[in-house]
Amino acid sequence: MSIPSKDEIIESYRKRARDYDVTANLYYLIGFREWAYRKKAVKALNPCIGDMVVEIGCGTGLNFGLLQRFIGSEGKIIGIDLTDSMIEQAKKRVKENRWSNVELVVCDAAEYEFPDSVNGILSTFAITLIPEYDKVIKNGAHALAAGKRFVILDFKLPSNWLSFLAPLGVFITKPFGVSIEMASRHPWDSLNEYLKNPTMNELYGGFSYIATGER
């Protein structure tokens, strides 16, 4: 299976933007606790009241509510996404919740200029889709304030006895643009290179992970 181009990824997510939240939650049917994993990823970010957090590949804003509980109205969320239709759905979520501290940007993450002294960077089920993920992580690492974290929650190929199920895992995540080649990427290696105190915890039998790095 070939790696989809950015244009193909944009078109794919445009088609499913309206129903993305429902589609994502269907993973519960196969025991994938997506919402619980999102909560773990946000908790790993260790956000505080007043923090400015950048979310890479924010999609429809599924993580915004979780982040708001930690940063409060004094904080700020900057959500960036490659797909305009996903950002439109995120705007609706922001409006419905009357959040005045969310900035949304349609942008290729590889070209995004991070603000100085960011208090946290989060990416859930997105950075594996970015060919230049190493550049994104490097740029983000340089923008983080001292002691702050970069957290990634994403899919991966298992390295244990479940590896024979990798084709099935890719088939299940294919609607979200995932391929064997993409799932073979190791963004956590970039966290290890550019940040301190890296951690990497496997989830769901090694098909997913949460990785963190600290400035």
Characterise 11 by phi-psi region: left (phi > 0), alpha (psi -120 to 50), beta (else). alpha
pLDDT in tens, the chain (215 residues): 456 677 766 666 666 656 655 566 555 444 557 789 999 999 999 999 999 999 999 999 999 999 999 999 999 999 999 999 999 999 999 999 999 999 999 999 999 999 999 999 999 999 998 989 999 999 999 999 999 999 999 988 877 544 444 454 444 555 555 555 666 789 999 999 999 999 999 998 788 899 999 99
**What residues are paired with 103 via a beta bridge?**
78
pLDDT for 174 equals 52
The domain limits of the chain are 6-214
pLDDT for 206 equals 83
If you ran DSSP here, which 8-state letter would residue 114 be given?
Answer: P
pLDDT for 106 equals 97
pLDDT for 182 equals 61
pTM above the 0.85 mark?
no
Other CB atoms within 10 Å distance of the CB of residue 28: 12
202, containing H or E segment: strand 196-203
- Topology of the domain comprising 6-214: Rossmann fold (3.40.50)
pLDDT for 29 equals 47
Separation between Cα atoms, residue 86 and residue 81, nearest integer Å: 7
Separation between Cα atoms, residue 196 and residue 22, nearest integer Å: 36
Q: What is the DSSP string of 7-22?
A: HHHHHHHHHHSTTHHH
